[in-house]
Chains A and B, each alone.
Chain A
């Protein structure tokens, strides 16, 4: 295939970023729900649920961070290919 018909690097980067972004949005929605449930539980006087909620929320943040690292890597590849 001719290289002129290949997907431009920006478009490839855009697809990767869109995929990562959708996963981050899903994780974020779960985190929002987790925060509201933990707050509701705390205000109701139940203190046992705070620890698991914080741990799971932390894991989700780490997953988001890993996805962001992936986006960052794709981003640097796109920049390198556009500059070269």
Chain B
């Protein structure tokens, strides 16, 4: 590790642990500068990781799954289901006679389960009072910064089929 330090007559421990206060302050600040530069490197590596994931991550493929019968759900009522996996809980809402919308039930803030509030006509997260629009899943109020992922629905005869997710 000799390349890390300059040529000096003093031993390293004397340089790094000086006796005088002024020298000690000097060494501490120099070490903090090193630490800050390393933190900057960490931030850069984090951005590179995001870039790597963006470039090489494959788009997920979603299965088609029947989630409800069209007439089973009364207007203004909800049905909970799991899509695309058993751990991914979603919420289906019948807003009008012909219109159904479905979203991931996981709040984009801290992953609490959202529920449908019929009186406010929005999706609410009870943990930190986040509110999402029923029409498009966008954030209306509260700490979440991203909309709820939407489940893409198709009507196949009398069945309502989930075919994918849109962030």
Residues on A close to B: CB < 8 A?
8, 10-11, 13-14, 17-18, 20-21, 24-25, 27-28, 31-32, 34-35, 38-40, 42-45, 47, 50-51, 53-54, 57-58, 60-61, 64-65, 67-68, 71, 75-76, 78-79, 83
Contact = CB atoms under 8 A, between A and B. Distances in A.
B83 to A, nearest CB: 17
A65 to B, nearest CB: 6
Chain B: number of interface residues, binned into ranges: 20 to 34
Given A10-B22, A24-B40, A44-B146, A38 B50 contact: yes
Contacts of A28: 36, 39-40, 43
B40 A60 contact: yes
B6 A76 contact: yes
Interface in B3-42: 6, 8-10, 22-23, 25-26, 29-30, 32-34, 36-37, 39-41
Contacts, number: 110
Contact of A61 (B10, B41, B53): B41
Contacts of A50: 47, 50-51, 53-55
A57 B41 CA distance: 9
Contacts of A17: 26, 29-30, 33
A40 B146 contact: yes
Given A10-B23, A17-B26, A60-B40, A68 B34 contact: yes
Interface of B: 6, 8-10, 22-23, 25-26, 29-30, 32-34, 36-37, 39-41, 43-44, 46-48, 50-51, 53-55, 108, 145-147, 166-167
B41, B46, B53, B166: most-surrounded residue (chain A CB, <10 A)? B46
A84 to B, nearest CB: 10
Nearest to A59: B44
Given A21-B36, A83-B9, 18 more contacts: A14-B26, A17-B26, A21-B32, A24-B37, A28-B36, A31-B40, A31-B43, A42-B53, A43-B146, A44-B167, A50-B55, A51-B51, A54-B51, A61-B44, A65-B40, A71-B30, A75-B6, A76-B6
